[in-house]
Amino acid sequence: MPYDHANAFAKILRGELPSIKLAEDDHALAIMDIMPQADGHALVIPKAPSELIFDLPDEALVGAMRMTQRIAVAVRAALQPDGVFIGQFNGAAAGQTVPHVHFHVIPRWSGSELRMHARERADTQKLEALAQRIQAQLR
């Protein structure tokens, strides 16, 4: 199946949809998840047009993983969670809701349940405040 250039992440990468940006380099864009499973949930989106990790070129994969680690370190420093979950879904049966490969960075606190994936949009001001805390750790 050919890559769908009309997916939400492709539009975000082209600047056609808004996002709350955390960081960007030649290979990936990191943004706040607008439907977070936990406060501070971030997404890392490779710039290469690939639906699944199996199709992601090596250079794009390495760049995305570097960005994922960078964001995870910043999330941990900014929010002081008990742990950080890093996940990636391939295909609808695995839970992928946007057909563009991406990585989830989700802070976890003991005794706190995750919200449902891709269900409820968060308050924009709250997301922006969390983003500022994470961005401060990236400097």
Q: Is the pLDDT of residue 91 over 70?
A: yes
Which among 27, 41, 100, 102 is annotated as catalytic?
102
Give the closest residue to 103 by CA, choosing from 74, 56, 70, 64: 64
Give the closest residue to 101 by CA, choosing from 27, 24, 19, 18: 27
User: What pLDDT is stored for residue 116 in this prediction?
Assistant: 87
The answer to whether the predicted template modeling score (pTM) of the entire model surpasses 0.85 is yes
Give the span between the Cα atoms of 113 and 115, in whole angstroms.
Answer: 6
Share of the chain above pLDDT 90, in %: 94
Q: How many separate domains does the chain show?
A: 1
The answer to whether residue 125 sits within a structural domain is: yes
The answer to whether residue 104 sits within a structural domain is: yes
Owning domain of residue 123: 8-138
The answer to whether residue 3 sits within a structural domain is: no
User: What pLDDT is stored for residue 1 in this prediction?
Assistant: 66
Active-site residue 102, yes or no? yes
Mean pLDDT value of segment 36-64: 98
pLDDT band at residue 136 under the 50/70/90 scheme? very high
The answer to whether residue 69 sits within a structural domain is: yes
The answer to whether residue 93 sits within a structural domain is: yes
User: In whole numbers, what is the pLDDT of the chain averaged over residues?
Assistant: 96
The answer to whether residue 2 sits within a structural domain is: no
User: What pLDDT is stored for residue 8 in this prediction?
Assistant: 98
Mean pLDDT value of segment 68-80: 98
Report strand pairing: 42-46 vs 83-87: unpaired
Query: What phi and psi, each to the nearest 5 degrees, are found at residue 19?
Result: -155, 165
User: What pLDDT is stored for residue 113 in this prediction?
Assistant: 94
CATH code for the domain of 82: 3.30.428.10
